[in-house]
Amino acid sequence: MQNFNPQIGGNSNSGPLIKEEIMGQANLTAEQVEKLIDIIGEENVKRLLAGKITLEFKETAKGLFDKHGRRIPVNLRVDVCDADGSFRLDQPEMVNEVDYANRILRLHECLDVNTGITAEQLKAETERLLSLIRNTPQIVNILRGVWLPVVMPSLTDEDLGTTLEQYLEGVGKSYVKTFGDRKFYNYRKGELAGKVITALGGRHDQLVERMKRGPVVGIHFPDSLRGFSINADRGQMESLPKEFILSGMDTVIAIAMYPDVLACGWGTPALDLAVLSWWSAGASFSFGARDAGLHFGSTADLVDANDNYSSGLLFLG
């Protein structure tokens, strides 16, 4: 931070005189000076030139997401590649309470639970979280990508593997109900209990702690880390605001609530559960949608970037 305390001239009484005085002291064009006066305000410029006030300069916060809502890579020590534009997601309409009610109903039916969250509550909390994002210049661009309000049910079993098994059953029910002629293939069915852990630094433990106390509402950004390897996904968290959680269990819930968006077929990006590990830190999980079915399995490839794969981010506010 710098102090700027110019001792130039005396009180100026008109715009042209102010411009001449500044141009006489700095290598600026008339257009640049006019823009500077517009930013600071003419009265402030007069007081500044008279030595009555000082200016403090701060570096503007750099945006963390690009015009597509994708994370701008920083501090990368592992692989990342450009996204393949032929794979895409479409934003569902989330305007009226009925839009929220339909998603909650789908979740309750496929998991056979009642979270206690109403459409009115989900809509209100979503609007609060969206407002927080819109009012934070560093992260506002994430809204240029797809955003999905999600409800994470209360955690009834502290073993993440057991809970993941239950959520995957729900995904299968929701998917088949949406696409009656397709199948859900879970290649790790019955193999998850006691074997799922979270990656350090992904902040998933914060989500788990909240879920122990009750249902949690957040906004899921499924395509925000497209083209990042799983290790690169994990490496981004140290430079993201604390309100972001690297996706894992929330991706499963999001697919259960929005199978029409996240699992509609070929052309849908594959989704990594980057914060979750299976057996050891060297393996993780992913979903892949095809025209004939939805596939879930484990992967030991944490270092290679794929242009049609993405992990997500969960914003909790």
Q: Give pLDDT, residue 273.
A: 97
| Residue 72 lies inside a defined structural domain of this protein | no
Q: Give pLDDT, residue 57.
A: 67
DSSP 98-115: HHHHHHHHHHHHHHT---
Quick check: 13 pLDDT over 50? no
Whether residues 47 and 139 share a domain: the answer is: no
Whether residues 150 and 11 share a domain: the answer is: no
Q: Give pLDDT, residue 9.
A: 35
Whether residues 129 and 258 share a domain: the answer is: yes
Whether residues 178 and 298 share a domain: the answer is: yes
* φ and ψ of 21, to 5 deg: -65, -45
Whether residues 135 and 238 share a domain: the answer is: yes
Whether residues 187 and 47 share a domain: the answer is: no
Whether residues 121 and 269 share a domain: the answer is: yes
Of the two residues 92 and 40, the one the predictor is more confident about is 92
Whether residues 181 and 231 share a domain: the answer is: yes
Q: Which residue, among 83, 61, 92, has the nearest Cα to 254 in the 3D structure?
A: 92
DSSP state of 144: G
**Count of other CB atoms within 10 angstroms of residue 261:** 17
| Residue 226 lies inside a defined structural domain of this protein | yes
| Residue 244 lies inside a defined structural domain of this protein | yes
Residues with Cβ within 8 Å of 278's Cβ and at least 6 positions away in sequence, in order, are 188, 192, 195, 196, 284, 285, 298
Q: What is the pLDDT of residues 85-119, one digit of tens each?
A: 888 999 999 999 999 999 999 999 999 999 999 99
Whether residues 23 and 155 share a domain: the answer is: no
Whether residues 52 and 109 share a domain: the answer is: no
From CA 197, how far away is CA 275, in angstroms rounded? 8
> Domain limits at 32?
2-57
Q: What is the pLDDT of residues 168-178, one digit of tens each?
A: 999 999 999 99
Q: Give pLDDT, residue 63.
A: 92
| Residue 77 lies inside a defined structural domain of this protein | no
Predicted TM-score (pTM) of the model is 0.81
| Residue 189 lies inside a defined structural domain of this protein | yes
Report the domain count for the chain: 2
Whether residues 53 and 101 share a domain: the answer is: no
Whether residues 203 and 142 share a domain: the answer is: yes
| Residue 293 lies inside a defined structural domain of this protein | yes
Residue 294, helix vs strand vs coil: strand
| Residue 145 lies inside a defined structural domain of this protein | yes
Q: Give pLDDT, residue 125.
A: 98
